[in-house]
Amino acid sequence: MLDDFFIRAMLAGLGIAAVAGPLGSFVVWRRMAYFGDATAHAAILGVAISLGFQISIYAGTLLVALAMAMAISALVSRGQAMDTMLGVLSHSALAVGLVAISFVPQARSDLSAYLFGDILAVGRADLALIWAGAAGVLALLAWRWQRLLTASLNEELAMAAGIDPRTERLVLSIALAIVVALSIRVVGSLLISAMLIVPAATARGLSRSPERMVGNAMLIAAAAVMAGLWASLRLDTPAGPSIVAAAAGIFMISQAFRRA
């Protein structure tokens, strides 16, 4: 069954959807959209480093994404304005990454695959890594669920309960870096944060509890993957952007029904 490239693409997309739902919910609750952008944009620098030193794309991307997440957390803890720092680091990381990747000849001809994803080229090894990483992130979120939820919804309440919000922010930063590294082949560095935010934002208006929102976000992300891949196959459009466009379409439909 896995010899079929479309089946592999579908399974890879569903693996990302499984983890994008819960992690994206925390991104929405904590208003970390720009944080996701900064970490995702740094992935291009990770790609350049990986190709330049001939190491795994996933390893290089993860290292750079983790470094970016740690840098943002350190700057914010020093009292720097979150939105300003994220704006500076996000665009700077993308620019530096694009400059760095221009020095890697083998990456120039395939730059769009790293910017917008190339899910149809996912192999068996990629598929195993995506699902293993997704399972690890889901286990981490399940283990820290109550602490993460309390710190996300009310930091003062969290501190009163003996929970350090900085620790939980660090846990989310690590989880986000892992998902960015896993998603680089699926939707690309420019669309990763959209895959996190759009399904969660859609689910937020349809859910009455955090747990229900996480479940709905996972289902919406999975539906976007299936619809986007189907559209890509039928209309011969890029798969990664088609998946995100499908998620955006579901969001718009949900908003129309809410207003009705």
For tokens 């592999």, the residue is: 8
Structure tokens at 212: 């229900």
The yes-or-no verdict on residue 31 having pLDDT over 70 is: yes
Q: What does the alpha-carbon distance between residue 104 and residue 234 come to, in Å, rounded to a whole number?
A: 34
Highest mean pLDDT among 1-15, 70-84, 127-141, 181-195: 127-141
CB 65 within 8 A of CB 180: yes
For residues 81 and 191, which has the higher predicted lDDT (pLDDT)? 191
**Angle, to 10 degrees, between the axis of helix 165-183 and the axis of helix 145-153?**
110
Q: What is the CATH number of domain 5-189?
A: 1.10.3470.10
Per-residue confidence (pLDDT) for residue 77, from 0 to 100: 66
Among the ranges given (73-87, 119-133, 225-239), the one the predictor scored with the smallest mean pLDDT: 73-87
E strand or H helix at 34:
helix 33-41
The C-alpha atoms of residue 171 and residue 85 are separated, in whole angstroms, by 20
- Quick: pLDDT tens for 85-111: 777 877 888 888 888 888 877 666 567
Q: Is the pLDDT of residue 47 over 80?
A: yes
Average pLDDT score over residue span 57-64: 87
pTM (predicted TM-score): 0.88
Q: CA-CA distance, 214 to 183, in Å (whole number)?
A: 19
Tokens at residue 176, please? 């986000």
Q: What pLDDT does residue 220 have? A: 96
Write down the pLDDT at residue 120.
82
Residues 25, 78: Cα–Cα separation, whole Å: 26
Stretch 193-213: mean pLDDT? 91
Do the Cβ atoms of 141 and 175 come closer than 8 Å? yes
At residue 167 the predicted structure's pLDDT band, cuts being 50, 70 and 90, is: confident
Structure tokens belonging to residue 162: 């003996």
Q: In which band, very low, low, confident or very high, does the pLDDT at 259 lie, cut at 50, 70 and 90?
A: low
pLDDT digits (tens, 9 = 90+) for 217-253: 999 999 999 999 999 988 989 888 999 999 999 999 9
Q: Which long-range contacts (CB under 8 A, 24 or more apart) does 157-164 make?
A: none
Please choose, from the candidates 214, 32, 198, the residue with its C-alpha nearest in 3D space to the C-alpha of residue 141. 214
